[in-house]
Each structure stands twice: as structure tokens, then as C-alpha cells.
């Protein structure tokens, strides 16, 4: 049996990183490590930035494809297919990087590390963004079939797509280098065993011209899968073929089998804007906030704490994304008045305009999010929830020092 470290280097032949921290603005984000799943990672300064991911949102789509890329590539090499997948299927797409690949190239790759990343990103979708299990479709290509089958065997997800999958790592090595060489390897990603525990609809796609992983691997997995299933074996498809180069490879089977795009929703999953900040920028902003003694909660400078004659306007982001923001107003009291929706938006704009006129500071009436340029497409419009517009008083009480409801001007 070969050493684990040497075996990992053979099984996970990561290429040189094809992207950097400044690449793919509005798509490259960092999902934090989960303290329950990865307690050691949370404390490790070498990976404290989190898991690099690519996020492609689709307007009003409830479905999320969680994508796991193939071997010998990283997120940068997968960017084009991820974008095409979002555009073709009209669903949200999230892809996670593996340890040892891309911006995690300095981390030792391993089967446990890949599953750790897969589970962390999956729980982030469910626990933080509030995506239902039934709205998540797992997609694994080649090496990515390992973490995809692992998650599908553990959770009642909405679907599973396996492209050029292997029955196990040892079987894949045997197909590439022969039985004698494969016997020296410890087993990893035993898909042929785990697939029996998958209960969701499963689409298998494997080209008959695959010269790396023979189509028999997917045939074996297909026979052992007990769920609703479909096997597609395009004659001209190779292991690294462009999946959207021919509609019969992926697009037509996936749309017919899963009925993409699926359900629409008025509250699609949205990632907090702060997750798209580069690690260096996040550290710099955190340091500035600590020096100023505030977490940057202000509408603009003229409404900041140092202005004793103004109200304090704080932005309280809820955990489920940038679409929902509560604005709290304070004045010499701990009581709050919360404004939400369009009324909050118009009220804050009016406050900013009034304050700017008094101060004579033209051109500084942008919100913090606009000023920092951390929003992306849609800018300020993405921040405001359209649900339940109005003014709410905490615990039903009027906050002292603020105008009463009947005295407020019409919005």
C-alpha cells in the first residue's frame, strides 16, 4: 500500500492556479468554514479566508445546482461551463474549490478534505441561505462525482447529475494504469457502494468515447442505483468534451429529466455582499472599522456617530442574504424604530438629502453599499426587500426622541 501523501498527489493532480483573488468580480466569493464540520480549519490562519467559490445567481430561480469540478482543473477552468449552465438551465449555480486546487493550492488534498468542503458549502446553502433540500441539485463531473454521491447519500436532495463518473478511485486507477498498480492504492470515494443509499432522481452521462474512465463505470453505478434514474451514453462524447458543445450531451437530457428551470420564487437565494470582498479588503475594512470604533453602519458620513445632532442609521443585514435589510434608527436611547421595504428606502434617501443640504456636502448621499461598490448587478435595488413595507415600532412602543407615526410625512 502506497503512502497516503504520495497517493493523494497521484489521485489529486492539481494544475497551477488559473485564477487569483482579484479574478471574477461579482462571482468569486468566500464561504466561511463551519466550526462544527471543520473546527481545525476555523482556527488555521492559512485558510481563515474560507472556501473559494463561484456563484452565478439566476433571477427568481429557487433551484441551486451545487457543482463539483473534475480532476486536473480548478474553478477558473470551470468558469465558462458554470456560466453556460446558469444561462441554459435558468437556475442558480454554486461551485466550490477543493483543497490543493486553485486558491487552496497550499492545502494538502485528500478525500476527507474534498468531502469537508462539499459538506460545508451544502450546509451553507441550507442553513444560511435557507435553500430547501428539494431545491438543490448536486452535479459531479469525474472526480466531482465522489463528493456529489457522498452528499446525495446523506440528504434528500432534489436531484443528482453525474458526468463521466467512476465507480471508485481504485477502479479508476485500474482502468488507467492496470490492476497491479491499483492494488497499491487505498480505496477512496467508493461510489459503487454509496450510490445504493441515494434516493433522489439521478442522471448518469458518460461518453462512449471516454478514453480515461470507461463508460462501464457509469453502467455499474446505474445498475446499483435504486432511485429514479436515466443513463445517457453519447457515442461521440469524450472524457473532457465540452458538455454544451452538443445539446444531446447534457442540455436536452437534463431539461427533460429534471424539468429545469423548476420553481420560481420572489425570494431567491442571495449571498451577502461582504462575501464577495477579497480577503485583503475584508481585513483592511475590519481594521478600519475597529480603529473608528464602529462596524461601518452608517448611511453616509454626515449621519455618523461623531455628528451629535443627527440620528444614527444602522444597517442590520439578516443572515439570508443582501435582499433583506432592516434599518434601525436610534437617538439617545436604546429603543429602535425599524423601517423596511420601499418606505425605508425612500425615508433614508430623504434623510440623506436633508442632511447633505444642511451640511453642504454635495455628492455624498450614496449609501454605504454604493459608496464601497460591493453590490454587483442591480446595485442598491438588490438590497431592499419588497415584503411587508411599512414602519414597525419595537415591542409596539413608540421610541422616545423620534417623531410619532401620525407626524411622519407621507412616503
Backbone angles phi, psi at 184, to 5 degrees: -80, -5
pLDDT in the model for residue 171: 81
pLDDT in the model for residue 240: 93
Residue 302 reports pLDDT greater than 90? no
pLDDT in the model for residue 49: 86
- Quote the CA–CA distance of 84 and 46 in Å, as a whole number: 33
- Quote the CA–CA distance of 105 and 112 in Å, as a whole number: 16
3: Cβ–Cβ under 8 A, 6 or more apart, which residues?
none
- Quote the CA–CA distance of 180 and 364 in Å, as a whole number: 70
Which range of 217-221, 321-325, 334-338, 402-406 scores highest in mean pLDDT? It is 217-221
Question: Any idea which fold 4-258 has?
Answer: Rossmann fold (3.40.50)
Could you tell me the end-to-end alpha-carbon distance of the chain, in angstroms, rounded to an integer? 73
How does residue 162 score in pLDDT terms, banded at 50, 70 and 90? Answer: very high
Contact 313, 366 (CB under 8 A): no
409 Rama class: left (phi>0) / alpha (psi -120 to 50) / beta: beta
- Quote the CA–CA distance of 260 and 269 in Å, as a whole number: 17
Which residue, among 176, 171, 262, has the nearest Cα to 224 in the 3D structure? 171
- Sign of torsion over alpha carbons 101, 80, 275, 122: negative
- Grid cell 474560507 is found at 50
The per-residue pLDDT for range 370-400, each reduced to its tens digit, is 333 343 444 333 333 333 333 333 333 444 4
Neighbour tally for 408: CB within 10 Å? 13
- Quote the CA–CA distance of 360 and 353 in Å, as a whole number: 10
Residue 319 reports pLDDT greater than 70? no
How does residue 314 score in pLDDT terms, banded at 50, 70 and 90? Answer: very low
pLDDT in the model for residue 376: 42
Residues of the chain with CATH 3.40.50.1820: 4-258
The per-residue pLDDT for range 215-242, each reduced to its tens digit, is 999 999 999 999 999 999 999 999 999 9
Amino acid at each position: 500500500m502506497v503512502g497516503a501523501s504520495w497517493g493523494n498527489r497521484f489521485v489529486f493532480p492539481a494544475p497551477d492556479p488559473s485564477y487569483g483573488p482579484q479574478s471574477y468580480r461579482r462571482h468569486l466569493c468566500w464561504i466561511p468554514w463551519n466550526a462544527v464540520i471543520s473546527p481545525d480549519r476555523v482556527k488555521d490562519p492559512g485558510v481563515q479566508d474560507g472556501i473559494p467559490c463561484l456563484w452565478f445567481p439566476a433571477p427568481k430561480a429557487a433551484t441551486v445546482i451545487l457543482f463539483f469540478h473534475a480532476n486536473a482543473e480548478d474553478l477558473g477552468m470551470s468558469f465558462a461551463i458554470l456560466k453556460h449552465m446558469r444561462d441554459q438551465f435558468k437556475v442558480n449555480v454554486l461551485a466550490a474549490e477543493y483543497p490543493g486546487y486553485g486558491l487552496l493550492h497550499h492545502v494538502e488534498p485528500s478525500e476527507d478534505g474534498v468531502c469537508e468542503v462539499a459538506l460545508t458549502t451544502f450546509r451553507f446553502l441550507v442553513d444560511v441561505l435557507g435553500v430547501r433540500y428539494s431545491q438543490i441539485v448536486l452535479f459531479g463531473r469525474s472526480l466531482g462525482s465522489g463528493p456529489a454521491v457522498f452528499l446525495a447519500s446523506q440528504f434528500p436532495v432534489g436531484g443528482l447529475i453525474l458526468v463521466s463518473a467512476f465507480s471508485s478511485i481504485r477502479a479508476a486507477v485500474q482502468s488507467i494504469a492496470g490492476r497491479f498498480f491499483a492494488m497499491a492504492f487505498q480505496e477512496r470515494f467508493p461510489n459503487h457502494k454509496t450510490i445504493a443509499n441515494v434516493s433522489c432522481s439521478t442522471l448518469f452521462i458518460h461518453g462512449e468515447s471516454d478514453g480515461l474512465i470507461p463508460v462501464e463505470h457509469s453502467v455499474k453505478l446505474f445498475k446499483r442505483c435504486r432511485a429514479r434514474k436515466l443513463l445517457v451514453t453519447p457515442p461521440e462524447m469524450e472524457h473532457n468534451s465540452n458538455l454544451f458543445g452538443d445539446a444531446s450531451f447534457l442540455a436536452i437530457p437534463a431539461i427533460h429529466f429534471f424539468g429545469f428551470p423548476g420553481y420560481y420564487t420572489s425570494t431567491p437565494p442571495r449571498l451577502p455582499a461582504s462575501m464577495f470582498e477579497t480577503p485583503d479588503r475584508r481585513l483592511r475594512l475590519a481594521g478600519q472599522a475597529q480603529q473608528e470604533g464602529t462596524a461601518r453602519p452608517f448611511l453616509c458620513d454626515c449621519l455618523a456617530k461623531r455628528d451629535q445632532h443627527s440620528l444614527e442609521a444602522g444597517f442590520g443585514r439578516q443572515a439570508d442574504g443582501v435582499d433583506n435589510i432592516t434599518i434601525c434608527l436610534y437617538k439617545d436611547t436604546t429603543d429602535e424604530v425599524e423601517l423596511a421595504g420601499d418606505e425605508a428606502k425612500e425615508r433614508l434617501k430623504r434623510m440623506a438629502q436633508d442632511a447633505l443640504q444642511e451640511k453642504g456636502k454635495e455628492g455624498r448621499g450614496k449609501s454605504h453599499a454604493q459608496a464601497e461598490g460591493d453590490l454587483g448587478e442591480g446595485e442598491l435595488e438588490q438590497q431592499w426587500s419588497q415584503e411587508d413595507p411599512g414602519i414597525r415600532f419595537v415591542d409596539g412602543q413608540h421610541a422616545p426622541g423620534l417623531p410619532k407615526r401620525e407626524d411622519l410625512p407621507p412616503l
